[in-house]
A and B are shown apart, each in its own frame.
Chain A
Amino acid sequence: MVSALTVPVVDEAAVRAALADVADPEIPAISIVDLGIVERFDVAEDVIRVELLPTFVGCPALDAIAAAVEERLAGFGRPVEVRFGFSVPWTTDRITERGRRHLAKSGFAPPGDDTCPYCGSADVLTDNLFGPTQCRSTRYCRSCRQPFEAFKLV
């Protein structure tokens, strides 16, 4: 017995809230909404369309992100279309304030922040412009002697 009451409300607010539940697969501390990669979404009668912006052109996590979005929105009971586009370039300016806080809390220096996310010291070396994923570089704090990663400024 499926009651009409169990069908979730499908409106913009509900979809936006659901998208905010989807974590970035490479840095789970930040949601795709706070990361700023949700360019737009559209809730139509027969479909939910989501347009995302890749952080890096060749980001290997894109398929995983699309699958996670589809899975999270599946409960709304209508087809979900996710596509990636370059209509505007994603830049690190698109990361929200909350996103920056979440990055710092999990040990990633937010883009453009040259201090150590652990102790706040500015005595920091860029160890490598490049890091374990395309969007990260590696640094070292000389105060607390902690290596850490920073989000690349793009």
Chain B
Amino acid sequence: MTDSLAPDLVPATRNALSLLLLSMADDEFVIGFSDSEWTGIAPMLEEDVAMSSIAQDELGHAQALYRLLAEVVDDGRDADAIAYDRPVEGYYHARLLDHPRGDWADTIARRYLYDTADGIRLDALAESSFAPLRELVAKIRREERYHLMHVSAWLERLASARGEPRERLLLALDRLAPDAGTVLSPLPNDLSLVMAGIIDSSFDELDARWRVEVGRVFERLGLSMVLPVADPLTARTNHSDAFRWLHGEFTAVRREQPGATW
């Protein structure tokens, strides 16, 4: 399978591709699982439906990315084994997604910071030389458009409201800001992906694009935020206690009934 998938890649580039796929899959998996926690308890029925549907989309993207990763790595593990059978330390999602669900403002702020960064990452893969990823990304982008419309509307609503909604949003952004830059923090050897035409720009450039986009929106909404540049060495490691708890939740069925199927 591997030969047909990425035949021309030298091992270093193949490793970089694996880390790219793993980072994207884990990001989608963790935010999808976190947001699915609103099912049944969202502030209103419409948002219960919306957040559940968005979470379902994200888990679907994660599954497709894990499947692709399984074919590239070709070490005998399937998508479920990669998704569920790693210890906490083995997960490679951005630290932005390590924060607990928090209140609705936390969820909206986290989603906004993540969706904008993820959107820029997907744009940079639209012409990827790695066809299976390019094809999958074409499909994913059409779905993410709805997520961005949804979260942008909420960001605007909270930011424009007087009093508690805006205050809560500011507090949420304060909590998340130190980790906001972790999504587009450079991956190891990401320049080899640029050289191979797998992604159109380095992560440093993507991060710069993201800061311009988010900066423009924040300025319009009167949100003055400092978003520090993340340290690439810790951007996707040293996961939090909140993630440790989430990991316990999403691996529970797998641990109790190994090999169970629906």
Contact = CB atoms under 8 A, between A and B. Distances in A.
> Is B one of A's binding partners?
yes
A107 interface: no
Interface residues of B, number: 25
Interface string B56-70: 111111011000000
Residues of A in contact with B, size category: 20 to 34
B138 interface: yes
Contacts of B214: none
A130 B49 contact: yes
A44 interface: no
Contact of B138 (A58, A85, A89): A89
Given A130-B150, A131-B53, A58 B63 contact: yes
A58 B143 CA distance: 10
A82 to B, nearest CB: 16
B167 interface: no
Contacts of A138: 46, 49
Contacts, number: 67
A106 interface: no
A86 B135 contact: yes
A57 B143 contact: yes
Nearest to A152: B146
Given A56-B143, A89-B138, A130 B63 contact: no
A90 interface: yes
**Among B59, B61, B138, B142, residue most surrounded by chain A Cβ atoms (within 10 Å):** B142
Given A86-B64, A134-B57, A152-B146, 18 more contacts: A56-B60, A56-B143, A57-B136, A58-B56, A58-B59, A60-B56, A85-B135, A86-B136, A86-B139, A88-B135, A128-B50, A129-B146, A129-B149, A130-B49, A130-B50, A131-B53, A134-B143, A154-B143
Interface of A: 54, 56-60, 85-91, 127-134, 138, 152, 154
25 contacts: A57-B57, A57-B61, A57-B63, A57-B136, A57-B139, A57-B143, A58-B56, A58-B57, A58-B59, A58-B61, A58-B63, A59-B60, A86-B139, A89-B139, A89-B142, A91-B142, A129-B146, A129-B149, A130-B49, A130-B52, A130-B146, A130-B150, A133-B53, A134-B56, A134-B57
